[in-house]
A and B are shown apart, each in its own frame.
Chain A
Amino acid sequence: MKDGRLEERDTTMQDTKIKASNVQVYYGDNHAIKDVDVEIKDKTVTAFIGPSGCGKSTFLRCLNRMNDTIDVARIEGKILIDDEDIYDRKVDPVQLRAKVGMVFQKPNPFPKSIYDNVAYGPKIHGLAKNKADLDDIVENALRRGAIWDEVKDRLHAPGTGLSGGQQQRLCIARAVATEPEILLMDEPCSALDPIATDQVENLIHELRENYSVVIVTHSMQQAARVSQKTAFFHLGNLVEYGTTDQIFQNPHDSRTESYITGRIG
């Protein structure tokens, strides 16, 4: 908590990276996100917490327009990234997603080799000048995903043959390899053991130096450890948003307090 407060001081200096105002999401008739306003800072880790089904993943998916792929989903309101409305007609969602990377709640490695899984993004976006360069990018990404040591001898084995936790870290490495400016992580540690969790948290700390990271988590401890800002969602509403210290030590809303002390959830 102590260095959390230190970091909090310098977050206040950062610019706003994402600014969402008045966001509504409907799945058919189901109003899943209601009136959400939030400003996410650059070079900051923001945690989304809240009970299951409250709309954390849904809101996260709005930030890189992944909800476009769901037929029944409808989004209203405004989301600006670097002062640009991402739901504007001019914006190409494909380009946007290269800039706003995502790690999904369920690990979803491609049925390709481990190497090709990680090389997929860099190849598509032409990030590597040559084969050696690509090898470096892949190795680097796997290291940051805290899985390099486990897979370095079988880079050409299928990614689907890894264990659940290894697959999740592979997906993290895959997302990091495209060098996004914003990384959205939907419960990245839900399938990981404490050691791997620790490594992923280290990665998040490291990413914060250059990127903005949004992480959904069900672990209060994790939110407290890695984030500087925390948003608490409940039944589709953003109930409270503030610095992590404030949310955990001095919540203003009674629902927030009940949730973090384990009374609702």
Chain B
Amino acid sequence: MSLIWLFAILLALAVAGYWMTRRRAMTSAGGDVRKLHSLPNYYGMNAAMLSLAPALIVLFVWLLAQPLLVDATVTRMIPDEAIPDASNRGLVMSDVRRVSNGLDALVDAGRMSAQEARDLSTDSDDIRASMAEVGVALGSDVRPEVLRAAQRYRLLTGRGDLARNVIVVLIALAGAGLAYRRTTHEFRARNAVERGMSLLLLGAASIAILTTIGIVLSMLTETGRFFSQYPWTEFFFSTNWQPRFGGGSDLGFLPLLWGTLYISIIALIVAVPVGLFSAIYLSEYATGRIRAVAKPMIEILAGIPTIVYGLFALITVGPLLRDWFAQPLGLGNSGSSVMTAGLVMGIMLIPFVSSLSDDIINAVPQSLRDGSFGLGATKSETIRQVILPAALPGIVGAVLLAASRAIGETMIVVLGAGASARMDLNPFEAMTTITVKIVSQLTGDTDFNSPETLVAFALGLTLFVLTLGLNVFALYIVRRYREQYE
């Protein structure tokens, strides 16, 4: 019985439980809905919930645990001597699983009875050929100990699946039965459903949290491996970034951090005032007609893929800045520069800042504007002294979101600022950022054991800490402000 069928049965049980419990509730109230503690639906929902939720949880855990347990048992059947020199235990085990699947396929195709599959031996048949006919390709002939392990594997998995199906269905039945038994007209089904809902939402929230923790943990282990091969003082304090794939690299991250911050700050200097002012114009000054045209136009900017901005930087802005500013001022003659990437990234962020701030400013109640106008304040006084302070927490949030995006941006930097790691004050010099270097350390034929590739994880973790720090800072500002005013 496949999983789909199991799901169908569970669903059918839940639906049946729903209707039966609902009916029982109605009967216990003598058909009068007003005598029930909760609406009849709630009794039904309670039954459906009690039958589905525990069964699905058990099923989920079982699906995760069974392969691990079966693997652990079967792997003991393969002696160390049986593992070929060029191979390892993992590869042999994946052979075992493939052969086991092949046996399943043979039985499904009707070429073999279940008994024959159990008794099959390498002496009598050409297993590789018959499996190829049912679409399971094997790399070599099947060795006897692999076949035996596969048969065992198949047996255990089959039994496990059967036990799983039976247990899950029993649990579902028990849940529905419990709900059915408990249903009287006094039972507080509504509260039970409410509790169930809150658990469901809690579950959803914990998935997000657990994923984050998982990502951080995996980054941490890889970073740990990196630091076991490369001194951390060098990584954090060296101002030299020169990876050499032959070994003996310099992997100081300061030039990358500098490039990241420099470019992001230029981008924010462009994006924040322009974005904020355009939001203020749109929400406070523009007439309905201008707004109807201008707002979608600005939002189109947000839909342009960053690679297109990158091309714009490479082909237009870069040469322009070089020919009109850098060269006349004697600040170098590099086409790609921090300034180019920063300006173009700033343009990319304008709609981001503007549409977030616009929503926030619009959310300030009209009554505050009226209050201020009613005291004889002008529009700009009202904006500066009433609306912006009221909207400040949201605007700070918008700016910090924009900053996070700037720090994480890659494409515009590659095309606009180049890929050379350098620490320089001159904004017309080519520099690069952490994200660009993560990409370049991981592209190509890589071996995930050398510090040159592992450094990508250390860089990634640094980036993570950087944005985390930014968010904590934002929260701090917002909270301080709230304490003062709300």
Contact = CB atoms under 8 A, between A and B. Distances in A.
Given A69-B369, A106-B367, A110-B368, A124 B375 contact: yes
Nearest to A174: B375
A160 B486 contact: yes
A97 B376 contact: yes
B462 interface: no
Given A94-B378, A124-B377, A158 B367 contact: no
A112 interface: yes
Interface string A149-171: 00000000010110000000001
A108 B485 contact: no
A63 to B, nearest CB: 11
B376 A104 contact: no
Interface string B260-286: 000000000000000000000000000
A23 to B, nearest CB: 19
Interface stretch (B49-57, B385-393, B416-424): B385-393
A121 B374 CA distance: 10
A75 interface: no
Contacts, number: 81
Given A111-B390, A158-B484, A158-B486, A104 B371 contact: yes
Interface residues of B, number: 23
Contact of B375 (A71, A109, A121): A121
B486 A94 contact: no
B367 A104 contact: yes
Most buried by A among B366, B374, B389, B486: B374
Contacts of B376: 94-99, 101, 121, 124-125, 178
Interface string A130-149: 00000000000000000000
Given A71-B288, A111-B390, A124-B381, A97 B484 contact: no
A112 B485 contact: yes
A66 interface: yes
B194 interface: no
A174 B372 CA distance: 10
Contacts of B299: none
A113 B483 CA distance: 11
B485 A158 contact: yes
Contacts of A120: 372, 375, 377, 385
A229 to B, nearest CB: 23
B370 interface: yes
Nearest to A177: B375
B408 to A, nearest CB: 33
B364 to A, nearest CB: 9
A222 to B, nearest CB: 22
B485 A66 contact: no
Contacts of A200: none
Interface in B333-378: 365-378
A64 interface: yes
Interface of A: 64, 66, 69, 71, 94-99, 101-102, 104, 106, 108-113, 120-121, 124-125, 158, 160-161, 171, 174-175, 178
Query: Top 7 nearest A-B pairs by Cβ distance?
Result: A98-B376, A108-B367, A102-B374, A121-B375, A97-B376, A108-B371, A111-B485
Given A102-B374, A111-B486, A112-B389, 5 more contacts: A94-B373, A96-B376, A98-B375, A101-B374, A121-B375
